[in-house]
Structure 1
Amino acid sequence: MKQVLNAVVLASALLASVHTYAQGSVTLYGIIDTGIDWESQAARAPGQKSASGSAVRMTSLSGSLPSRWGLRGKENLGAGLNVIFELESGFAPNSGALQNGNRLFGRSAWVGLETPYGTVRAGRQINMTYIALMKSTVLGPALYSLAALDPYLPNSRSDNTISYFNDFHHFVIGATYSTGRDAASSQGSSTVNGGAAFNPGATNCPGNVPGNSTACRQITALAGYWGPEYGLQFVYDQLRGGPGLLPGSVSYDPSMPLLLSSADQKTTRYMVSGYFQLGELALRGGVIHRMTTAATDYQTNIFYGGASYMLKPDIALDAEVSRIATTDHKNANYYVMRATYLLSKRTSVYTMLGFMQNSSRASYSVGAGYSTVANAKQVGVLLGIQQRF
């Protein structure tokens, strides 16, 4: 009788295990995207007075989209509740190196709970600025994109973050709160700032300082309407400075090598953006105002607008025009076009053409992460291939 009872208990446990497994899933996914980039008037480092010449290189930061792989999981708990998680790693396809501050899961590492009243997540994750930007730009985080004007935008992720998001009949609200926005640091050779080098994906601000709850804190908030034909959204984004990760160091503004040495120093952004969907034609655009209060105050305004059109089921065309204006007159106009041919549902080839028109004080590169010289009228051409799995 005891053996029968043991067998019943074992069978029940196995059935329960099978049932639990059937309610959950884990998905392996990824993108490998790279290409060959040619740019005129390239510089070897920021601050050069004259260009070194044209440059030909394989992309490492991004092509049409950043390369990444990841795991997503979901378990149904019943009553409208789901446990979800995501681990996502960015890598450079030209070398295999890790991206996002040399972190294994630098793009995301979070666990959350879906409920009928919204979704809550905890861990490293994209914030509301990134979510809104992907709704309002046709280029996304491509090599030729708004990332060339502000490197924070494709790196708008936060460590130590709890978030909330809800979509109720197309009306959306969301917020993130981070107690330490970026715990990664990029080592530099200089003795300045404790040897930490400027890196938009590793801004040296771990936070969680006893007695200083605002050090390295970041808050973002989103409110808007995302309809099937049009949408409008408003975003607030504030990040604060504080002690750096290395002894004697301080944190950086992720937009530029500007020190945020205390919790009182901060960068605040306001974004208004939206979209229209007219059949196969999509129109997207917005305005981003940034205000940094540090040793000196600094402000920028970015205006952008673009269109995307499915010429055929396997041919997509995108174009975007943007402009940046700053308090120190480092202004530029930026023009980008992209054509994509879908070889299959998972594989595509594309070409991008970019033109950066810098003012006499500005030196924005047509390709994000690269360098040019002041007053450059720089042209870039990118040929790439992308495969999703």
Structure 2
Amino acid sequence: MKKSLLALAALGAFAGAAQAQSSVTLYGVVDANIEYVSNMSSVTPSAANGLAVGPAENAFRLTSGGLSVSRWGLRGVEDLGSGLKALFVLESGFGIDDGRLQQGGRLFGRQAYVGLESAQAGRFTFGRQYTTLFDLMANFSPTGYATQYEPVVAQLGLNFRSDNTAKYTGKFGPVTAIAHWSFGNGVAGGGEVPGQFRRDTGYGAGLAWAAGPFGVSAAYDQYNPTLNAAGGTGEFKKAAVAASYAFGPAKLMAGYRWGMNKAPNNNTILKDNYYWVGANYQVTPALGLTLAYFYDDVKNLNLAATGTTNNIKNPWQISFVADYNLSKRTDVYLTTAYAKNAGVNFDTSAISFANGYFLGTGKDNMVGVALGIRHKF
């Protein structure tokens, strides 16, 4: 009997050790708010209606995702020994207001990748992933890439999440190095077309340094989207630098992003200089405040489809967030934004045209206010 008990105990110990070498974690965020928006177009611009907008109206609605996109995911790690690990991430975005899948209905539209990580050499991952520019600017966003009121698409481009991507991430003391290559991102076209290697490809690289209260980062991104029926590719280039400094309960951040978008015939579609600055302040362990300012200096604009040429006023936006933690997992928040010469998030047919806050006819400013709750699991 004693031998049997010892055998069972030994078996349990080995099972525990094996289990510790491999793990899968279920995680997620659910975020919903009640929102008010002023001066919204009653018509959604589209290619079918010539990008036309309608009369300005106020909107009251329940919205999914104020500070974070609602999502769930699986994260797995297996220890292969000698400092080597296998890993994967599958992450799905959904609307908490209607339960629908986001990212065009993809099951794992936010992230889907597998890879290997070495303690010495770094991490190599393959699949649908964030670009280098997205990753290296994330710690320098005052509002933390807040879903509702941050011009993320204007800053990073529509390709900030890329399909068919091979990516390297290495951490060496205070320095982080990241580089990626996308064999074909499906934002604008099909990508990965035989005989058209350049079509819908993208790549980027950059470095970040953080030590003590200081942080600095620089990154370059290029995307070559399909822009006509013949498969002609454009050339969308972006380069950014950012810095931060933390002292006591406060953190200051600022950044600059240069952009140049070219058509297949090498004509300039958009050239701009985008700036942001902001601060986080932890008033108490539970209450955090954020103030941020975003500005886009449009140097050159040429949209043949709309007849728009160099006549857009530079959009700017100021955002404020108050976030109160009820627990480690649950918080309530107030998020607000005022945008001039564009809808919030710089949504215009000329700059971003992505997030649905389109100005109504004859209006040049927009206010957004949302009161919400977020739970992390």
Shorter-chain TM-score bucket reads 0.7 to 0.9
| Unpaired runs of at least 5, structure 1 | 1-7, 183-202, 251-260
Distance 1:363 1:118, change over 3 A: closer
Shift of 1:147: 3.0
Matching residue's letter, 1:262: G
Q: Which amino acid aligns with 2:136?
A: A
1:266 paired with 2:269, answer no
- Contact 1:290–1:299 under 8 Å retained in 2: yes
Match runs of 1:324-339 below 5 Å: 324-326=296-298, 327=300, 328-330=310-312, 331-339=314-322
Residue in 1 aligned with 2:326?
343
Residue 281 (structure 1) aligned with residue 250 (structure 2): yes
The answer as to whether partners of 1:144 and 1:367 remain within 8 angstroms in 2 is no
1:280 CA displacement: 1.3
Q: Secondary structure at the match of 1:338?
A: strand
TM-score normalized by the length of structure 2: 0.84
2:56 alignment partner, one of 52, 56, 62: 52
Equivalenced residues, count: 342
Q: Does 2:286 correspond to 1:307?
A: no
Please tell me whether the aligned partners of residues 356 and 366 of structure 1 are also in contact (alpha carbons under 8 angstroms): no
Matched residue of 1:130: which SS? helix
8 Å contact 1:145–1:368 — kept in the other structure? no
Post-superposition CA distance 1:249-291 (Å, at most 9, x none): 47xxxxxxxxxx423x210101111211112111112011111
Shift of 1:71: 0.3
Residue 132 (structure 1) aligned with residue 136 (structure 2): yes
- Aligned residue for 2:104, secondary structure, equals coil
Q: Deviations over 1:49-71 (max 9, x none)?
A: 664311111224x3111111000
- For each residue in 1:129-171, what CA deviation from the matched residue of structure 2 results, as whole angstroms up to 9, or x when unmatched? 1112211111123201123745836x61111111001111111
Residue 76, structure 1, aligned to residue 79, structure 2: yes
Cα–Cα, structure 1 residues 204 and 363, in superposed 2: closer, same or farther, change >3 Å?
A: closer
CA distance in 1, matches of 2:326, 2:13: 44
Residue type at the aligned position of 2:23? S
Q: Determine helix, strand or coil for the equivalent of 1:134.
A: helix
Preserved CA contact (<8 Å) 2:34 2:63? yes
SS of the equivalent of 2:34 reads strand
Superposed CA offset, 1:172-224 (max 9, x none): 11100010112xxxxxxxxxxxxxxxxxxxx2423222222111110011112
Partner of 2:294: 322
- The residue type paired with residue 235 of structure 1 is A
- 2:305 is aligned to none
Higher mean C-alpha deviation, range 102-111 or range 371-380: 371-380
Q: 2:197 maps to what in 1?
A: 213
**Superimposed CA distance per residue, residues 9-62 of structure 1 (whole angstroms, 9 cap, x where no aligned partner):** xxx9999776433301110000001101101111122355664311111224x3
1:379 aligns with 2:367: yes
Query: What is the match of residue 177 of structure 1?
Result: 181
Deviation at 1:242, TM superposition (A): 3.1
Output the CA distance in 2 between the equivalents of 1:85 and 1:236: 26
Name the CA distance, whole Å, in 2 between partners of 1:376 and 1:342. 35
Distance 1:13 1:316 in 2: 49
Q: Is residue 224 of structure 1 aligned with residue 208 of structure 2?
A: yes
| TM-score scaled by length of structure 1 | 0.81
The Cα RMSD (Å) is: 2.7
Q: Aligned-pair distance for 1:372?
A: 1.1
Q: For the structure 1 residues 366 and 209, does the alpha-carbon distance in structure 2 shift closer, same or farther, using more than 3 Å as the test? A: closer
> Unpaired runs of 5+ in structure 2?
1-6, 46-50, 301-309
State the Cα distance separating 1:375 from its structure 2 match.
4.7
Identity within the alignment, %: 32
